[in-house]
Structure 1
């Protein structure tokens, strides 16, 4: 049990600390020259999460459980601070106190990811290692919204001359909005919706859509790296969204395995 706790904790921190670090970079790149204090704060958070990322890489699956639990809480505190920074920036944008090159929805998006990371760290330290039926629905709602947001960001950051790719991104936006609405409907049908077959079907319907979007992001990333795409998309942002789609696919596999294990235990 303790090894699984350590492995899951390090897995979450290694993935999300890099995401948080990159969020700080994207926010920094969006600030204008007359916003040096915000640039400085973003740089601070970049350094904080780069340090966390490096420290997480030094741990192993044999690391002491209590040490990892303390590390989880330390990372949790750092994440609360970057979450507060993101919400502050969003408030400044929405109150027209600053103008940045980041969409308000993008700033809200990255703050939701920080809140998700905080919640995962809390769950781990409470001993919740495997996804429960509630978590399966909630996490799909969370990730489907992220994927819908990504499609919208891609459509709006592509050059207007990239008509075919913009149309593809808009199609993905619509598709994931529909999947999100379906997930929200399922969420409101609790506890009746928390049956193995119902949740399994839910996962099976989401997976091909996520795979298609992941492949679309991969193509866009390669075109950007090869300087064959007209856009305002930073190469790191393209890779960032690709990794998050891959993460969602990994979690869908984990959810399905958890449901299968649960069904088998009921049959014994």
Structure 2
């Protein structure tokens, strides 16, 4: 374990604990007034991840790696618990036990996939068994491309139907990212033969262009929502939430492209 382990762990926890905290809020806002137990559970998760986020910002890269390793275990367990909560809620919605609730099943599933991703990443960091670069490139893109496709669908459904141009743009992004996801899954199924530097480089280039376009669309939507200039039922925090996840994906693509460039230069 080293400073790099500490820095990577804190980066993951600072980003994803805020995401988990906000998921708790969004789920709560979609519950019915009578869902008091679920509302209480969501509030508890909000407080839990708010505390984790605060604690993560209190640490620095100089913090003892063993202390961060223990922190990772604590946060991993919190992520596992919120994953279980989300799957419970999904089961209630899909079995029609919450008629009138306002959380889309796909949105609940989406948030649970992110909790599982967070949990798995902390396990990888603590075990020291991160994916080799070619596997990491495909795995991260398969995960995030689906997240981006979901976001486009949610935006299209939560905008007021009278916002026809924006709704159409969201639908187009949904289609584009579904196609990119299918391509990524094809590359995945062709492993390891598909993991050449040239194919992975082109893969990242293509995804970068599309993610940047979606990121810019989300930024515009966020700014318009915050200024109350468009009609929607999108919470301003949700608009910023999906924007930050697109920014995260672009940062990851940048990191992979730099790593591939190092491989090519050898």
TM range, smaller chain: over 0.9
Distance 1:55 1:251 in 2: 24
- Residue 209 of structure 1: aligned partner: 210
Q: Could you list the runs of 5+ residues in structure 1 that have no partner in the other structure?
A: none
Q: Is 1:40 aligned with 2:33?
A: no
- Residue 134 of structure 1: aligned partner: 135
Corresponding residue pairs, total? 265
CA-based RMSD: 1.0
The 5-angstrom pairing of residues 50-89 of structure 1 reads 50-89=50-89
Change (3 A) 1:131 1:221: farther
- Residue 259 of structure 2: aligned partner: 258
Cα displacement (A) at 1:172: 0.3
Tell me the SS of whatever aligns to 1:60.
Answer: coil
Change (3 A) 1:14 1:131: farther
The 5-angstrom pairing of residues 1-268 of structure 1 reads 2-99=2-99, 100-128=101-129, 132-264=133-265, 267=266
Cα displacement (A) at 1:51: 0.2
Cα displacement (A) at 1:197: 1.1
Cα displacement (A) at 1:130: 7.2
Distance 2:249 2:42 in 1: 27
Q: Could you list the runs of 5+ residues in structure 2 that have no partner in the other structure?
A: none
1:47-84 CA-partner distances (Å, limit 9, x unpaired): 00000000000000111000001100100000000000
Tell me the SS of whatever aligns to 1:186.
Answer: helix
